[in-house]
Every structure is written in C-alpha cells, then in structure tokens.
Amino acid sequence: MALSVDVPKNLRVVKNKVALGLTKRQLICYPIGIVLGVPVYFLTKDIIGGTFAALIMIALILPFFLLAHFERDEKPAEKVLRDMIEHKYLRPTFRPYRTENLYALLARREEIEKEVARLEGRKRRRD
C-alpha cells in the first residue's frame, strides 16, 4: 500500500511552525493584539455597551492579525507598508530626466567663438 504526500512546488511558501501550528510571527502578533484588545473591551463595555466595545476591540486587534498573516510577493506586511509609504510620501513622484546635450554645447561654443572673432575684428579696425 503506497502513501502519497503533497509537496508544494515552491518551497518558499512553506512556513516553519513553531508551536501550536503557528509561525513565530503569529506567536508574537496574537498575544500583543489580545493584550491590547481584551482589556479595552472589559473597560468599555459598561460605559458604551457591549456591541460598541466589541467593535473597538476588533479594531484594535485587526492590525495585529493582518501583520501576522498578510504577505505580498513574499514580503511581510510591515515591509509592504514601508515600501508604500516611501513611494507615496518620501520619494518624489516626478523625476525629471535631464541630459547634457553635447551638440548644443558645441553649437553655443561656436557662436561664442564667432562673437569673439567679430569683436576682435572691430577692435583691430579701430586701431
């Protein structure tokens, strides 16, 4: 009796599970989200009601959940976010392409030489 095991073609997508079937990133992000979200729920549920307190808790936990799971092009969420901020705000969107036109410089030099020759010719005529 033969057993078959599915092996992914791209081994980069295979994540090392550290504990409880979670990656190291997930083991770091989940507790941080829980430590921030759950106390906020218990502190605000009597003041604003259970529904709104739960929505605030979800809003606090969601970024950490996204940090734990989101990847684009094998980049984690914080690197994708950093790249987006650099592209949008830190680096100019318009980069002018300026070249040094050597032919224009040679033409300008020739004009200056003609002007100098013309001025020297006038000076010689006066003398």
Would you say the C-alpha torsion 38, 39, 40, 43 has a positive or negative sign?
Answer: positive
Q: How many Cβ atoms from other residues are within 10 Å of residue 67's Cβ?
A: 19
Residue ranges of domains in the chain = 18-93
Instruction: Write out the two tokens for 40.
Output: 């906020």
Average pLDDT over residues 98-124: 87
Higher pLDDT, 112 or 72: 112
What digits encode the pLDDT tens for the residues 30-71?
A: 899 999 999 999 999 999 998 999 999 999 999 999 888 888
Backbone dihedral angles phi then psi of residue 22, each to the nearest 5 degrees: -115, 150
In a 13 Å sphere around the CA of 56, the CA atoms on its Cβ side amount to: 16
Distance between CA atoms of residues 113 and 106, nearest Å: 10
